């Protein structure tokens, strides 16, 4: 009996210690910044001739709300940059960890939205005949492809992620075939099995995005870098610094465009303003409109996310946070170009691309960067 009583006392002491520790942790992690803390946060944009600089107050935004986001941003382990543009003016800018105003890192899957824009450019210029053009028409070497359904895949199917190709992590061996070193990707068009009929269902597919890049290269007659610089990035005052290629020399349509944070912001402003940049119509307004529509609702459900109702357009995500709708170009690690049309606002975040993994540790870092922006949007 005495032994049981002692054991119970020890058990209660253990519980008490754990509870005290948890409460202390909540006080540390959960405490909100004071007014003095927020007023000390410096998020003023770097003044130069690149952007028209303003302040949150001048653009009708609560400066303490902006300060609260930057206060939290400074705590994040993998965030590189955070920019806010409102009414076409840069109102907040901050760099963290390895980040800097001229820092280049891979935008990862933000590249998909760039490829989508280039499809719009090529279509408007007549380099692509139609969005209903068949994928196979650009791959004469694959005309004898075994699965006849693949001959029915259209450019539009690829743009919507509805070609029928699977998410590579869902099929054993597929992810390694694509990303374990540099490989030829064109043969994967035949080698990777479809998991649904073209147009029937949404599946996030890196191969589909890369196929679009190869189609563009073949339709325009060469490397996409000079084409993109002349017809997309040059007109908005941005520089496509680098774009990694596959073993065949094709730019990777699913990842590896390198841009500075400010140049990512220019790309976002272009879409927010209906394809127009400083009076020049760089992209068709119709293309921007159809790119940002939701063609596949509730396509993903990520544990721990602070956003919801995730849909997909033409290589753009369609999101909700709180009562706000927004479109997002998103890349692994937490790269973001967020478009809030109702508020005339663009938010850009860059981060460590997290090449070293897709496991729980990497997922935690990425989710923290995504939730930072989603939480800010909820309060707007």
Q: pLDDT digits over 312-355, tens only?
A: 999 999 999 999 999 999 999 999 999 999 999 999 999 999 98
Cα three-residue angle 162-163-167, rounded to 5 degrees = 80
Q: What is the mean pLDDT of residues 355-374?
A: 87
Domains of the chain: 105-379 (3.40.710.10)
Asked if residue 307 lies in contact with residue 320, where contact means CB atoms within 8 angstroms, the answer is yes
How much is the pLDDT for 223? Answer: 93
Q: Which two structure tokens, joined as six digits, stand for 319?
A: 């999101």
From the number of C-beta atoms within 10 Å of its C-beta (0-12, 13-18, 19+), residue 306 rates as: middle
Dist CA 73 CA 212 (whole Å): 35
Sign of the dihedral defined by the CA atoms of residues 307, 328, 188, 200, in that order: positive
Check pLDDT > 60 for residue 182.
no
What band does 356 get if pLDDT is binned at 50, 70 and 90? low
pLDDT score, position 251 = 96
Residues 6+ apart with CB under 8 A from 25: none
pLDDT given for residue 308 in this prediction: 85
pLDDT tens readout for residues 81-123: 999 999 999 999 999 999 999 999 899 999 999 999 999 999 9
85 in helix, strand or coil? strand
- In total, the chain counts a number of residues equal to 380
Average pLDDT value for the chain = 90
**301 pLDDT exceeds 80?**
no
**CA separation, residue 38 to residues 31, 53, 62, 239, 371 (Å):** 13, 21, 12, 34, 19
Nearest Cα neighbor of 266 from 280, 274, 277, 252 is: 277
Per-residue pLDDT of 241-292, as tens digits, reads 999 999 999 999 999 999 999 999 999 999 999 999 999 999 999 999 999 9
């Amino acid at each position: 009996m005495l032994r049981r009583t002692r054991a119970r006392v020890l058990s209660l002491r253990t519980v008490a210690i754990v509870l005290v520790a948890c409460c202390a942790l909540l006080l540390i992690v959960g405490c909100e910044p004071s007014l003095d803390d927020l007023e000390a946060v410096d998020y003023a944009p770097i003044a130069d001739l690149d952007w028209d600089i303003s302040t949150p107050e001048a653009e009708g935004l609560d400066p303490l709300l902006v300060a609260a986001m930057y206060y939290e941003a400074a705590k994040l382990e993998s965030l590189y940059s955070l920019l806010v543009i409102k009414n076409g003016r840069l109102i907040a800018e901050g760099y963290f960890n390895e980040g800097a105003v001229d820092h280049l890192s891979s935008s990862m899957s933000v590249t998909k939205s760039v490829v989508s824009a280039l499809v719009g450019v090529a279509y408007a210029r007549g380099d692509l005949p139609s969005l209903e053009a068949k994928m196979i028409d650009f791959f004469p070497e694959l005309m004898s492809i075994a699965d006849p359904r693949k001959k029915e895949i259209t450019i539009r199917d690829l743009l919507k992620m509805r070609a029928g190709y699977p998410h590579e992590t869902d099929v054993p061996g597929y992810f390694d075939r694509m990303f374990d070193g540099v490989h030829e990707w064109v043969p994967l068009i035949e080698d990777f099995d479809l998991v649904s009929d073209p147009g029937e269902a949404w599946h996030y597919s890196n191969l589909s995005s890369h196929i679009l890049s190869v189609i563009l290269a073949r339709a325009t007659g060469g490397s996409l870098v000079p084409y993109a610089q002349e017809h997309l990035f040059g007109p908005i005052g941005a520089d496509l610094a680098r774009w990694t290629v596959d073993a065949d020399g094709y730019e990777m349509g699913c990842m590896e465009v390198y841009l500075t944070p400010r140049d990512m912001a220019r790309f976002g402003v272009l879409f927010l303003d209906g394809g127009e940049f400083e009076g020049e119509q760089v992209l068709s307004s119709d293309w921007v409109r159809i790119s940002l529509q939701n063609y596949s609702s509730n396509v993903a459900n990520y544990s721990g996310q602070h956003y919801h109702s995730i849909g997909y357009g033409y290589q753009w995500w369609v999101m909700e946070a709180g009562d706000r709708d927004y479109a997002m170009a998103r890349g692994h690690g937490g790269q973001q170009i967020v478009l809030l049309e109702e508020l005339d606002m663009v938010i850009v975040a860059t981060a460590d691309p997290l090449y070293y993994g897709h496991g729980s540790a990497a997922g935690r870092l990425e989710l923290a960067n995504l939730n930072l922006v989603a939480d800010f949007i909820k309060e707007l």
